[in-house]
Structure 1
Amino acid sequence: MNGESKGKAYAAAVLYALIISFSFLFVKLALTVSEPMDAIAHRFTVSFVAIGIPVLLGWIKLNIGWKDILRILPLSLLYPAMFFSLQVFGLRYSSSSEGGIIQATVPIFTMVLASLFLKERSNGWQKLSVVLSVGGVMYIFLMQGASLEGSHVQGISLLLLSCVSFAGYSVLARPLSRQYKPMDLSFIMLTIGFLFFNGVSLVKHGLEGSMDKFVEPLSSPLFIVSVLYLGIFAALFTTLLLSYAVSKLEASKLSVFGNLSTLISMAAGVVFLDETLHYYHWIGAVMIVAGVLGVNFLDNAGQRTEMSVKTRNKPLSS
């Protein structure tokens, strides 16, 4: 990969992190006037319309068939289906700040899955970084003590599972991204998200006889602004950015950029949602981010050590 392509991939990753930074905030705002599954359904309706119109008008050409859809389907189940479902229900019982902190664990899960399925190796420094990052999450949980009620634990657990699903997506997407263009992948994934979430929501309301509740949130300006941001920026744009970046960068390297959003998410929760951050949130966040940086950037240290050992043990030529 040349320098220009690498620079574009890093730029896409940084832009993805900036957009995701405020997604937790807008999810929390949307949930004040809507049920979780309805919020996701409207979110992906916006995404589907936004990507479908240029495809319908012929501005964007796709090169996919039914066989391609079947190949990409498992990827779409992990992201967006599982990821957004677990995330939105997790945020129902947790704060926006906690969502941003827990999101920082994604590179840890990505490293583990990448080592299993992509055979990516990690050195001792990276393993210590994993311990540091996971320790940061555990520290926050322990310091909260009595505040860890049943529903709160449920929310944290769902957010962690959403991180696992996203890590699985990052690993599976790398080989597929070499075969398909970012727009082809994004169109299939967003279409599946649109059909899945709207199907679940409409069936639920149909069985309950409460179809009016499905459209009721659309009368709220706050909800409209939230789903526009979540649908266009936090779903459509991030899917395109991820599809491009993952085709150029290793899964374990790309995942670190999501942690740029951690501190911004925490700050957004404090400023806009009046959430309280205690000192242990900050300590835990620093531990998580430091560990994640170590996972992704201490590999060179291991490589240098290994090379120096080989050099020392190499016999002198006569």
Structure 2
Amino acid sequence: MMIWGFNVPLIKILVTAFEPVTITAFRIFTASLVVFLILWKMGKVHWPAIYHWKFILGGGLFNVFFHHLFLGLGAAGTSAVHTGIILGLGPILTALMAVLIFRRGISVIRVLGFITGTAGVLVTVLGGGAGLSGFVIGDLYIFLSISAQAFSFILVSRAARDMDPLLLTGYMQLFGSFGLLIASFFMEPAGLSSLRNVNMMMVVVFILSAVGATAIGHLVYNNTITKIGPAEAAIFLNLNTFFSIVGSAVILGEPIYYYHWLGLLLIVPGVLMGSGALEELIRKRRRTANHAAK
């Protein structure tokens, strides 16, 4: 979570120095190569079955292409603090989409979580007394980014039932990066020429973001979520938002105002309630208590 959190200001640096979609395409492509190198060392690289491709392409479209396309555009148009806080809505949006798509029942606790989390984002985006005038298009792009990723998690969870999630990650990143590169040719004609501005500091930032956060970070998360469970993972995801705020202040020197912390304090319980993590933890404690009583 610390690696992912500090990746937010690193992305801000990259999309400010280069054309956002172009540098994002190269960042994700580099990450996919690192993922496949690690999987090759583990002996896990193989050609997917035909019925897996719909999940690979669907996940690559939403989890990589749309998510990182809007993330790059959004990070270039809003502050890293706003980016990190809005991205914290991910678990809530995933749970909400699961309810809408699978028509699952929804509890009062989850409704309260959705409301609280949404209030946290509104406080962050509209805070500071600026109201709607303080809203920027970058904030909307970040919201679209996390919405696309939330939808992709539903596809990924289905595919992970019979496909190695680590291998799935590699293929999604690889094909998603190709889509981003093609999009950059249309959206940013001068995208490749902007890469001439590279220097040693930018190379270090690029490697930390692409290799450390996007490649290794996703592999570690996808591997450990199977060990601790989604409920506990949702709790840790709140630290992602915290570290993105701290990183934005330390690395970029961005100011952090009271309404940023207020937004964070609303999103954290919102995630715990809205994602179902709180209910799952309560159920686990009850099961443990019942076993102890027997």
The TM-score by the shorter chain falls in which range?
Answer: 0.7 to 0.9
Equivalent pairs counted in the alignment come to 285
Amino acid at match of 1:299: E
Amino acid at match of 2:254: E
- Structure 1: tracts of 5 or more residues without a match: 1-16, 305-318
Partner in structure 1 of residue 193 of structure 2: 213
Task: Tell me the SS of whatever aligns to 1:137.
Answer: helix
Does the aligned pair in 1 maintain the 2:77–2:138 contact within 8 Å?
yes
Partner in structure 1 of residue 3 of structure 2: 19
In structure 2, C-alpha distance between the alignment counterparts of 1:107 and 1:242, rounded to whole Å: 14
Partner in structure 2 of residue 155 of structure 1: 138
In structure 2, C-alpha distance between the alignment counterparts of 1:131 and 1:84, rounded to whole Å: 26
Q: Do the aligned partners of residues 290 and 156 (structure 1) sit closer, same or farther apart at CA in structure 2, a change above 3 Å counting?
A: same
CA shift, 1:129, in A, is: 2.4
Q: Do the aligned partners of residues 34 and 225 (structure 1) sit closer, same or farther apart at CA in structure 2, a change above 3 Å counting?
A: same
Task: Tell me the SS of whatever aligns to 1:46.
Answer: helix
CA shift, 1:167, in A, is: 1.0
Does the aligned pair in 2 maintain the 1:19–1:233 contact within 8 Å?
yes
Name which one, 1 or 2, has greater alpha-carbon Rg.
1
Partner in structure 1 of residue 272 of structure 2: 293
TM-score of the aligned structures, taking structure 2 as reference length:
0.84
Work out which of the residue numbers 127, 132, 137 in structure 1 matches 2:116. Answer: 132
Task: Tell me the SS of whatever aligns to 1:267.
Answer: helix
Work out which of the residue numbers 264, 268, 277 in structure 1 matches 2:247. Answer: 268
In structure 2, C-alpha distance between the alignment counterparts of 1:211 and 1:165, rounded to whole Å: 24
In structure 2, C-alpha distance between the alignment counterparts of 1:193 and 1:45, rounded to whole Å: 8
TM-score of the aligned structures, taking structure 1 as reference length:
0.78
In structure 1, C-alpha distance between the alignment counterparts of 2:234 and 2:21, rounded to whole Å: 26
Alignment of 1:83-94 (within 5 A): 83-94=67-78
- Structure 2: tracts of 5 or more residues without a match: 285-294
Partner in structure 2 of residue 283 of structure 1: 262
Amino acid at match of 2:207: L
CA shift, 1:301, in A, is: 8.7
CA shift, 1:240, in A, is: 2.4
Compare 86-95 and 62-71 and name the one that shifted more: 62-71
Task: Tell me the SS of whatever aligns to 2:130.
Answer: helix
Alignment of 1:241-252 (within 5 A): 241-245=220-224
Task: Tell me the SS of whatever aligns to 1:32.
Answer: helix
* Alpha-carbon displacement from aligned partner over 1:121-144 (angstroms, at most 9, x marks no partner): 432123212212211222233323
Does the aligned pair in 2 maintain the 1:75–1:169 contact within 8 Å?
yes
Q: Do the aligned partners of residues 166 and 254 (structure 1) sit closer, same or farther apart at CA in structure 2, a change above 3 Å counting?
A: farther
2:144 is the alignment partner of 1:164: no
2:226 is the alignment partner of 1:226: no
CA shift, 1:183, in A, is: 2.9
Task: Tell me the SS of whatever aligns to 2:17.
Answer: coil
In structure 1, C-alpha distance between the alignment counterparts of 2:209 and 2:94, rounded to whole Å: 24
Alignment of 1:192-207 (within 5 A): 192-202=175-185
Does the aligned pair in 2 maintain the 1:83–1:162 contact within 8 Å?
yes
Partner in structure 2 of residue 6 of structure 1: none
Does the aligned pair in 1 maintain the 2:32–2:171 contact within 8 Å?
no
CA RMSD of aligned residues (A): 3.0
Partner in structure 2 of residue 38 of structure 1: 22
CA shift, 1:81, in A, is: 0.8
CA shift, 1:242, in A, is: 4.5
In structure 2, C-alpha distance between the alignment counterparts of 1:211 and 1:27, rounded to whole Å: 16
In structure 1, C-alpha distance between the alignment counterparts of 2:230 and 2:277, rounded to whole Å: 13
Alignment of 1:61-72 (within 5 A): 61-72=45-56
Task: Tell me the SS of whatever aligns to 2:212.
Answer: helix
Partner in structure 2 of residue 48 of structure 1: 32
In structure 2, C-alpha distance between the alignment counterparts of 1:105 and 1:85, rounded to whole Å: 18
Does the aligned pair in 2 maintain the 1:133–1:290 contact within 8 Å?
yes
Does the aligned pair in 1 maintain the 2:123–2:263 contact within 8 Å?
yes
Amino acid at match of 1:30: L
In structure 2, C-alpha distance between the alignment counterparts of 1:170 and 1:280, rounded to whole Å: 30
Task: Tell me the SS of whatever aligns to 1:144.
Answer: coil
